[in-house]
Amino acid sequence: MALVILDYDGMLADTLDRLISSAQEACDRLGVIHLVTKEDISNLEIMSFPTYGRACEVPEHLIGEFVEICLNILAENESPPAIFPGLREVVERFSTQNHKIAIVTTNSSQNVHAFLTRHGLDSLVHAVYSADMPGSKAQKISLARERFTVNGKSVFMIGDALSDVRAAKEAGVTSIAVTWGHQSVETLGRGEPDFVVDNPRELIDIIAK
């Protein structure tokens, strides 16, 4: 039995188009002249809404408003985003194997819980550590480990961003980078993850080892 920590945007939820459109609307409302593209996300050293805003050339004094606008737009969407193919089955398999499951994300808990409910996974996830809580991603990974692990239980952090890999290393847990998310294999490789997977089902094999 292990603790499996999942990232949300780009790992579980296919949110790329929504992140781009929400950032573009936020820039437009704030009077920031910038055309938002995938590259604004894919090149981030740290995956968070504040760093995303800076990549979109938002002035520092407007970063807080940028984050608030983006999160509100995402929350107002009538339908939660799609889940990447195969991941619902993977999360269900983790649950049947009695693994503890947590989510660590820079998104809001409201958005994450709406997504989990829409896809029938809310009862399978034991905790969500979101942007509503203080602390870095590494600190939140450590909080999850302290809460859910005993006797040296294995802990895995699964994410699609370089910052997920680095947060896992900072927290002293096993890092798994996935290639179907927002950042390229080359970007992920800079963090030297313990594992790189191209298909969700590979996650089952790694965590079963």
Residue 67 to residue 23: CA distance in whole angstroms: 9
Same domain, 110 and 167: yes
Looking at the fold, whether 199 and 172 belong to one and the same domain comes out as yes
Strand partners, 192: none
pLDDT of residue 47: 85
What is the rounded CA–CA span in Å between residue 169 and residue 162? 11
- 8-state DSSP, 12: T
Q: Which domain holds residue 38?
A: 16-76
Do 54 and 92 lie in one domain? The reply is no
Angle between helices 16-30 and 63-76 (to 10 degrees): 130
**pTM beyond cutoff 0.75:** yes
Q: What angle do CA 171, 90, 194 make, to 5 degrees?
A: 35
- CA–CA separation, 112 and 184 (whole Å): 24
> Which pLDDT belongs to residue 71?
92
DSSP element (H, E) containing 101: strand 100-104
Please list the pLDDT of the chain residue by residue as tens digits (209 residues). 899 999 999 999 999 999 999 999 999 999 999 999 999 998 888 888 999 999 999 999 999 999 999 999 998 888 889 999 999 999 999 999 999 999 999 999 999 999 999 999 999 999 999 989 999 999 999 999 999 987 778 999 999 999 999 999 999 999 999 999 999 999 999 999 999 999 999 999 999 87
User: Do 96 and 168 belong together in one domain?
Assistant: yes
Residue 114: the pLDDT is 93
User: Among 76, 97, 117, which residue terminates a domain?
Assistant: 76
Question: What is residue 208's predicted lDDT score, i.e. its pLDDT?
Answer: 81
Query: End of a domain among 76, 91, 116?
Result: 76
| CA end-to-end distance (rounded Å), the chain | 11
